[in-house]
Amino acid sequence: MGRSSRFSAASFAFGAALVASLLTVNASTATAEGIPSLPTVAAEDSRDEVQSLTIDEREALQAEIDATIAETNNGAAQISANEISWNGGEVIMTLPLPGEAAAPAPTEAALALDGVSAAEVEDVQAEAASWNGCPAGANDNRWYCFYQYAGFEGRRVQWNHAHCASGINFSDYGFNNKTTGVINTTKNIDYWGMNLTLYHDWFTGNALRVPPYTKISQLDSFHDNKFSSFTACRRT
């Protein structure tokens, strides 16, 4: 074999190696670009229904979470692939998973923030099924929930504490004028039951009272998507 032939063979081998290297880099880059950059709590959410989401679905869900946190800008924290917490769990918002109309039951992470022990989680989640996802625990730890759409669909935002003197502004949680359904799981026994009063105009004017142990699948046209604030007062 002549010198030129040996040079050509060496050049070919080098070129082939370079192309292979570039293809490997490009493939790695493409793979990295195809995986959404998710917060740890979302990336490590082990629920089967979350793990089965496509990359596009995960990105779309995360975009909703990010937009809500940016809108409220008041110490919100993502606690799962589809849940946001405020004030250390005092308020939890649950988003429907892609392809689903209604928000699922709260995760163990969400319930733990509200004082539900690991031993109680299954019972609370099971009871939540009869309350359209709104959790209901022991008499002293029951929730009330507000829903974005009729039939208890769309986003769900929930509380389990009294807010009587100061009340709550829905705009602090990205839910101003977005309430169509309401559930109050608190029981009308002793002082555990809570009366909810929802207001159109920042604690004044037109109001709706929702007593303990009540479900409202769809508000009438006068109240639908009109509430800006509410109070939750223990019955006396």
93 or 20, which is more confident: 93
Integer Cα distance of 112 and 216 in angstroms = 27
Is 131 inside a domain boundary? Answer: yes
Measured CA to CA, the distance from residue 215 to residue 219 in angstroms comes to 10
74 SS3 class: coil
Q: 78 pLDDT exceeds 80?
A: yes
Name the domain count of the chain.
Answer: 1
What is the predicted pLDDT for the residue at 191? 67
Place of tokens 């004082």: 115
Phi, psi of 156 (to 5 degrees): -125, 135
Question: Is residue 208, in this structure, part of any structural domain at all?
Answer: yes
Give me the percent of the chain exceeding a pLDDT of 70. 83
3-state secondary structure of 23: helix
- pLDDT per residue as tens digits for the range 23-62: 333 332 233 344 457 899 999 999 999 999 999 999 999 9
User: Across all residues in the chain, what is the average pLDDT?
Assistant: 85
What's the pLDDT band for 192 if we cut at 50, 70, 90? Answer: confident
User: Would 151 be classed as within a structural domain?
Assistant: yes
Give the per-residue pLDDT at 15: 42
> pLDDT digits over 111-156, tens only?
999 889 999 999 999 889 899 999 988 777 889 999 999 999 999 9
CATH of residue 103's domain is 2.60.20.10
Q: Domain span at residue 91?
A: 40-234
| Residue 117 within a domain | yes
User: Per the domain annotation, does 118 fall within a domain?
Assistant: yes
* Tens of pLDDT, residues 200-231: 988 887 899 999 999 999 999 999 999 999 99
Look up the pTM and report it: 0.83
Nearest to residue 219, comparing CAs of 232, 233, 206, 205?
A: 206
Dist. CA 215–CA 158, nearest whole Å: 14
**Residue 9: is its pLDDT beyond 70?**
no
Residue 12 lies in a domain: no
Q: What would the two tokens of residue 40 be? A: 């740890």
Q: Does 212 map to a domain? A: yes
Q: Which amino acid is at 226?
A: K
16 within domain boundaries: no
Q: Which helix (H) or strand (E) holds 164?
A: strand 163-169
pLDDT at 138: 78
